[in-house]
Structure 1
Amino acid sequence: MSGDLKGRVGLVTGASRNIGRAIAVSLAERGADVVVHVARDLSAGAETVAAVNALGARAVLVSGDLGDPATARRVVDEAIAAFAQLDIVINNAAIRPEAPFREITYEAWRDVMATCLDSVFLVSQAALGALKASDQAAIVNIGGMTAHTGALHRAHVVAAKAGVVGLSKAMAHDLAADGITVNCVVPGLIDTERHAAAGGAEPKHRGSRTNLLGRRGSPSEVAEAVAYLVGSGARYVTGETLHVNGGAYLS
């Protein structure tokens, strides 16, 4: 890998496993130091830190509920304090519970909105001061394919991820004058480990989904797209939504 991100610092939220961990590793492979955020799973977060360290990059672990404004600010402050700078923010934190529309409680609705959408707003806003000081500042928000297709039993998740796409475009407008690029990467049909916090069992809608390539993607393939968008070669790219789904929309 190139040293394209040497001397840069990236914060990756929701980096305990799967796509978040792959992104943290990808940044480290390119020379960046990484702030690894987890909500609660400190053990899994420590594994991500170890994976980053194994590549010769520095890493620190931060934790907390990013849907809470005070906690989001604290996490960002800790990230900046760790390395005295912040150049890259990857908003990946998410939960994906499933329930029929009629059974979704308002509490469940708010939990999803707070984790998937509010956190993007709160973390990005808290990081603005540090990002403005960087000459290669980039924010990448991780969306979801169901925001574009809909999905059974995921009204709250679909709504939140659709909001991430719209927020990314709005942020691109507002932050362009500060030299901060903002883009959205949308994974689809990715082979990930399903754990309880993310919704547990295999999503119901996946059984009927196919793509042109006839396989599921890997977290590392999503991470490659993210790495491009935060690298020096993508400084003229902002406000875009990049789909990584093996041609699912064409199948």
Structure 2
Amino acid sequence: MELQGKVALVTGGGVRVGRALVLALAKAGCDVFIHYGNSEAAAAEVKAEVEALGKRAFTYSADLGNPTATDTIIPKAVEVFGQVDILINSASIFPEEVDRFDQVDVTLWDQLFAINLRAPFQLCQAFARQIPPEGKGKIININDARIPRPKPNTFAYRLTKRGLWDMTEILALELAPRITVNGLALGQILEPPDVPDAKKFMEDFANRLIPVKIPGSPQVVTDTAIFLLEQDFITGATVRLDGGQFI
């Protein structure tokens, strides 16, 4: 796909990896619909950066935990831009509380599944429906590189991401040949929020745990995303970006 002049929708586009993806898409020539949950100020800043690059941008808040709110996202993007050519499901949540099999409760379970799996499903479904019969589209689902190695911790979270991994492959077949569907499974790409010395944290982490001894970075994600969006032959792939940590 030639990205110049296309319209991309990025969920969670105001902060962290989502923000990096928004800016990379704008630099590649896309207009961008920036979804956010609560990061209104950050989304506004990214919108201004996109516009400074000479591309159109629109910010929109919707609670991905609410299926009715989620259903408004694609129609709003189509209303603003006419069509959406690229969907990147970047937004997700990681449990702040205990998420072990014997301790996870139904409330946490429902929240994780709603945001991490149901919302991407709804958005993929609505995205596919608005692509014309002879049109082309691209979907990228942002995932977690640790998922292929089962562990007892983060029980419900892992199930949501395993579901997203499988959904990526199923939709690649379901939506071919009009739409390609791929995933990016991230390792330690950014430091955790509120780390006082981000550079030191990432370097120490790489030296201890990453075989290639190179810190992760948003550019690794954006470069790979742009590569996948420009390809028409690759579909159903989830590319692990972890420096070898979860081999």
TM range (shorter): 0.7 to 0.9
Cα separation, partners in 2 of 1:85 and 1:173, compared to 1, 3 Å: same
Q: Please name the residue that 1:236 is paired with.
A: 233
Q: Please name the residue that 2:167 is paired with.
A: 167
Describe how 1:59-138 pairs up with structure 2 within 5 A.
59-98=57-96, 99-101=98-100, 102-132=102-132, 135-138=135-138
Q: Please name the residue that 2:244 is paired with.
A: 247
Cα separation, partners in 2 of 1:141 and 1:42, compared to 1, 3 Å: same
CA contact under 8 A between 1:7 and 1:33: conserved in structure 2? yes
Cα separation, partners in 2 of 1:134 and 1:44, compared to 1, 3 Å: farther
- Structure with greater proportional helix content: 1
Amino acid at match of 2:240: H
Task: String of CA shifts for 1:141-194, please: whole Å, max 9, x gaps.
Answer: 0110121224563112111111110000110111004x1000111111111452
CA contact under 8 A between 2:206 and 2:215: conserved in structure 1? no
- Structure 2 unaligned blocks of 5 or more: 195-200
Cα separation, partners in 2 of 1:213 and 1:168, compared to 1, 3 Å: same
Q: What is the rounded CA distance, in whole Å, between the counterparts of 1:219 and 1:30 in structure 2?
A: 16
Q: What is the rounded CA distance, in whole Å, between the counterparts of 2:219 and 2:114 in structure 1?
A: 26
Q: What is the rounded CA distance, in whole Å, between the counterparts of 1:93 and 1:133 in structure 2?
A: 28
Amino acid at match of 1:49: K
For normalisation by structure 2, the TM-score amounts to 0.88
Cα separation, partners in 2 of 1:4 and 1:176, compared to 1, 3 Å: closer
Q: What is the rounded CA distance, in whole Å, between the counterparts of 1:209 and 1:66 in structure 2?
A: 35
The 4+ residue runs of structure 1 with deviation greater than 6 A are: 206-209
Question: Bigger CA drift: 87-96 or 66-75?
Answer: 66-75
CA contact under 8 A between 1:13 and 1:38: conserved in structure 2? yes
* Other structure's SS at 2:42 match: helix
CA contact under 8 A between 1:4 and 1:30: conserved in structure 2? no
Q: What is the rounded CA distance, in whole Å, between the counterparts of 1:207 and 1:244 in structure 2?
A: 13
Amino acid at match of 2:232: R
Question: Bigger CA drift: 186-195 or 120-129?
Answer: 186-195
For normalisation by structure 1, the TM-score amounts to 0.87
Are residues 1:213 and 2:207 paired? Answer: no
- Identity among equivalent positions (%) equals 31
